[in-house]
Amino acid sequence: MLIKYGVSAGFASLGSAKNCMLASSAVLRRQQFLIRSLGGYSDHTNQERMQEIRSMSGTTLEADAENVLREITPVLDPTRHKGQAGKIAVIGGCREYTGAPYFAAISALKIGADLSHVFCTKDAAPVIKSYSPELIVHPLLEESYSISGLEDEEKRHISSKILTEFDKWMKRFDCLVVGPGLGRDPYLLECVSKIVKHARQSNVPIVIDGDGLFLVTESLDLVSGYPLAVLTPNVNEYKRLVQKVLSCEVNEQQAPELLKSLAKRIGGVTILQKGKSDLISDGEIVKSVSFYGSPRRCGGQGDILSGSVAVFLSWARTKRKSVDRSPMNPTVLGCIAGSALLRKAASLAFENKKRSTLTTDIIECLGRSLEDICPAR
Ligand SMILES: NC(=O)C1=CN([C@@H]2O[C@H](COP(=O)(O)OP(=O)(O)OC[C@H]3O[C@@H](n4cnc5c(N)ncnc54)[C@H](O)[C@@H]3O)[C@@H](O)[C@H]2O)[C@@H](O)CC1
Ligand SMILES: Nc1ncnc2c1ncn2[C@@H]1O[C@H](COP(=O)(O)OP(=O)(O)OP(=O)(O)O)[C@@H](O)[C@H]1O
Ligand SMILES: [Mg+2]
């Protein structure tokens, strides 16, 4: 069953009937705007999409994303110390991909986390360090090529040293992002599987993205039944997940229902299905973030999203411990906030840069986008 808007939002600030009506009309206006903005396209898929959005109006999925952002973003309190606004670690970065972990880790800082670490392969580390002095970069992981020629016993020894080293850090993190630019090397992925298992034992939330999704699609047990796991698949990653778990093809017509079944089947993990609209489900409710971002599809936007979700999820968990005003799962709140902020920043960047908009331009707009919604004072 899809949750009706206003009941699902559940924030105290939306508690009165009057406020609910105001909020509903704001959502309707947003949907009408979205329908208008899609109206310029004539291809079949977009016609279907318009129909889908119209049919959502009765039982609207659209999250009240700005309110979510306001609710979970902490005030800048001078009594707080370094680390209290979030300590994030990205596990990713290999010989091919150094941009993805950088985008995820720097986005976390730009939003407001205090510390952002990257655990990557030895070869990728100097490159990632050279992008930014703000990141703490650990040249920890090994790929098969760097240990080729070693005996199996030695390989096992290296793998256990990597795990021991990571364990020293793990409990300090509020959230891990596993996968941006991780690559698919079997030795490296085996090591990362062990890291995920340890993180889970320690109840550290984990956002799984990029090649991390390749890993968990092959080994669902890693996340199955873990409520602090968030999966952020793009269109391909989602197709693979649906085929593996539900043994069927993706059906655009029943996207919310399919997503909810998938999240439920993986034991109540939260899934953020990226696309024209971002759809989010924890197996209980489904929410969407649909307002228009940018028509540029440059690589790296999903990496911004995974770093952002990690920060907002951590903030939502902290807020829940202190006030507990929202009945929504903190992982769902983190996804709504991350998706909304990325789309707003992409839209701002596109206003300025048009066709030449790149991921770094979007990252530069994260701060202003959040500031517009939650002024720092
Ligand atoms: N600068 C970088 O270092 C970047 C590295 N990235 C990393 O690259 C690795 C692979 O990620 P991918 O996103 O390419 O993996 P995917 O499995 O999504 O994509 C694999 C192939 O599918 C194609 N594809 C992607 N989106 C599609 C769509 N909407 N419809 C049809 N085909 C589509 C791609 O062109 C690619 O050839 C991950 O580790 C990821 O994190 C990306 O995050 C992009 C930026
Ligand atoms: N067709 C689209 N129209 C509008 N926005 C989109 C569209 N597709 C994706 N997005 C937005 O871009 C964000 C990143 O999604 P995308 O599918 O590009 O991820 P990705 O492929 O994992 O990216 P990356 O290149 O970082 O790996 C999504 O959260 C969504 O908000
Ligand atoms: Mg990606």
Provide the token pair at 281: 């489900």
Per-residue pLDDT of the chain (377 residues; tens, 9 = 90+): 333 333 233 323 333 333 333 334 444 444 444 444 333 333 444 445 444 544 444 456 999 999 999 999 999 988 889 999 999 999 999 999 999 999 999 999 999 999 999 999 999 999 999 999 999 999 999 999 999 999 999 999 999 999 999 999 999 999 999 999 999 999 999 999 999 999 999 999 999 999 999 999 999 999 999 999 999 999 999 999 999 999 999 998 999 999 999 999 999 999 999 999 999 999 999 999 998 899 999 999 999 999 999 999 999 999 876 665 667 899 999 999 999 999 999 999 999 999 999 999 999 999 999 999 999 97
Q: Is 83 left (phi over 0), alpha (psi -120 to 50) or beta?
A: left
Taking the C-alpha atoms of residue 33 and residue 242, their distance in angstroms, rounded to an integer, is 31
Task: Please indicate whether residue 239, judged by its CB atom, sits closer than 6 Å to ligand 1.
Answer: no
The percent helix, strand, coil of the chain (3-state, each to 5) is 55, 10, 35
Task: Please indicate whether residue 173, judged by its CB atom, sits closer than 6 Å to ligand 1.
Answer: no
Q: Which ligand is nearest to the CA of 280?
A: 2
Judge contact between 339 and 289, C-beta under 8 A.
yes
What pTM, to 2 d.p., does this model score?
0.86
Q: Which atom of ligand 2 is nearest to the CA of 180?
A: 27
pLDDT in tens, 50-98: 445 444 444 569 999 999 999 999 999 888 899 999 999 999 999 999 9
Q: Give the pLDDT of residue 377.
A: 79
Mutate which of 48, 234, 280, 361 for ligand 2? The one with the most ligand atoms within 8 Å of its CB, which is 234
Q: At 41, which amino acid appears?
A: Y
Q: Which ipTM score applies to this complex?
A: 0.90
Taking the C-alpha atoms of residue 232 and residue 57, their distance in angstroms, rounded to an integer, is 25
Name which residue sits closest to atom 1 of ligand 1, judged by CA: 99
Helix, strand, or coil (residue 227) = coil
* Beta strand spans in 209-358 (E): 229-231, 270-273, 278-281, 286-289
Ligand 1 centroid distance, CA of 212 (Å): 12
Q: Which residues, in sequence order, are bridge partners of residue 124?
A: none
> Based on the number of CB atoms within 10 Å of its own CB, is 74 exposed (0-12), middle (13-18) or buried (19 or more)?
middle
Ligand 2 centroid distance, CA of 305 (Å): 9
